[in-house]
Structure 1
Amino acid sequence: MRRAPGTQDFAVQAAKAAGSLLGATFGAAGALRRNKPLHPKGLVYDALIRRVGSPIMWGCPWLDDEGTDAGAARLSRAIGLPAPVPDIHGLAITFTGDDGERNDLLLATTGLGRWGRFLLIPRSDPHTCSYGSLFPYRSSRDLVLLAAVPLPAFRPQEPPAVRFRLQAAGVAGHWHAFGTLELSTPEGGLTDRPLRFNPVAYPLPGLRTPRALQRLREPAYIAARRTPARVGPR
């Protein structure tokens, strides 16, 4: 006898259907724009993550332990509205871990409260607003959300940089700091580069995207990659 589909199976199938719809929508938007369907223009920074370890254990060494990661980060406007018109800003980070594997993290302007952490919020200044993962990751112990909260940009005797405090929280719990993120101007100045990010294909060490969310997000990433990224004036 065929087993009746359970709640988890239904969630995966529903996410797959919604993901297919999103993929078609993103593909059409990219074709019309002849560029990325979202975040068409941005600026690429050098990124340095300094992890000091979380005060509570998540069952994920990348969150629980000390360490340093160097890579690149891109700040961009999701819709591409001209500044200072509020837009949903994106903070995308990529780095190579100690094991040689690529790791991507995508954050967007969200709230930090119980419900606001699941809502995208337009902001005016990308350097003074908080960013969140919007969707949770799964560690070996629990679901966990990530966030970056702005810190003062200057430190004595060091060049100016955009700095964030990195935080982790459960789907309804308090935020706990586990490190900092520093964005600095690369050699040659700030420019855009046709970077592509995919946190499903290149997850953070010890964290994974729940299966239903993978089915929801992956078609959109595939559709976005079909349109070549153009680099032009911000």
Structure 2
Amino acid sequence: MLTTAFRLLARARRARAVHPRGVLMTGELTGSAPFPASATVTARLSKGAGTGRGLPDVLGLALRIPTGSGDWDLLLSTTGTGRFSRLLPTPATGWQRARLGTILPYRHRGALLWLMAVPLDPTASAPGRPPTRFSLHASGTTADWRRVGEVRLRDLRHDEPVPFDPVLNRPQELELAPRWLAALREQAYAGSRRGRRVS
């Protein structure tokens, strides 16, 4: 049922089921584990429901990060930063104070791992201007965030149909967690993929 629902939504929108419109950029990532030391990334900034400018929405940042075992599609959405608030998507009216997290954790080396991106540049406060610098942070179950990298973006382009997919594209050492919810997520992304192919 979940696969069908997301397939129909993607078909109706003629785009992704969620975060249907956005802007595409390229850039450089520098970091430490679980990120590579350096990589050229593709990024997409978007709004979850696609509301108009200045209206609240769940903002999104998608990063395609090359790794030694293939591409890693990391998807982040505006959320809280606390132990429990980071589990909930949080609408925001702009990028300046946005905190973009994975919401659901990964399992990395036997432990749960949440990731977060925080806008760094002042242009994030300008209407219609997406941020071009993000600091990257990681935490375990205690929500004690530590900085593990930075992304600098450039080359703003119109949105293109780059199929970011965190289910298909992730390093082998990072497992989506918890497993039962990861199974539902797989169904949702499968439906969205099918709907995009039809439209």
- The one of 17, 37, 57 equivalent to 1:67 is 37
Instruction: Find the residue that maps to 1:70 and give its secondary structure.
Output: strand
Give the number of aligned pairs.
Answer: 190
**Aligned-residue CA RMSD (Å):** 2.1
TM-score norm. by structure 1 comes to 0.74
- Partner residue, 1:29: 9
The structure where strand makes up a greater share of residues is 2
Structure 1 segments (4+ residues) deviating >6 Å: none
Specify the structure having the higher radius of gyration (Cα): 1
- Counterpart contact for 2:120–2:131, Cα < 8 Å: no
Please list, as runs of the form range in 1=range in 2, the aligned pairs for 1:1-234 lying within 5 A after superposition: 21-51=1-31, 53=32, 61-63=33-35, 67-97=37-67, 99=68, 101-126=70-95, 128-153=97-122, 162-184=132-154, 186=155, 189-204=156-171, 206-210=173-177, 211-228=179-196
* 1:227 shift after superposition: 2.5
Instruction: Find the residue that maps to 1:228 and give its secondary structure.
Output: helix
Deviations along 1:147-206, whole A, 9 cap, x unmatched?
Answer: 00121358xxxxx9611111111133301111111221x2xx421110111112111463
Q: Which runs of 5+ in 1 are unaligned?
A: 1-20, 54-60, 155-159, 230-234
> Aligned partners of 2:131 and 2:89: how far apart in 1?
25
* 1:44 shift after superposition: 0.3
> Aligned partners of 1:213 and 1:48: how far apart in 2?
31
Same amino acid, percent of matched pairs? 33
- Counterpart contact for 1:139–1:206, Cα < 8 Å: yes
> Aligned partners of 1:215 and 1:141: how far apart in 2?
19
Q: Which runs of 5+ in 2 are unaligned?
A: 124-129
Deviations along 1:59-86, whole A, 9 cap, x unmatched?
Answer: xx435xx610112000011111111111
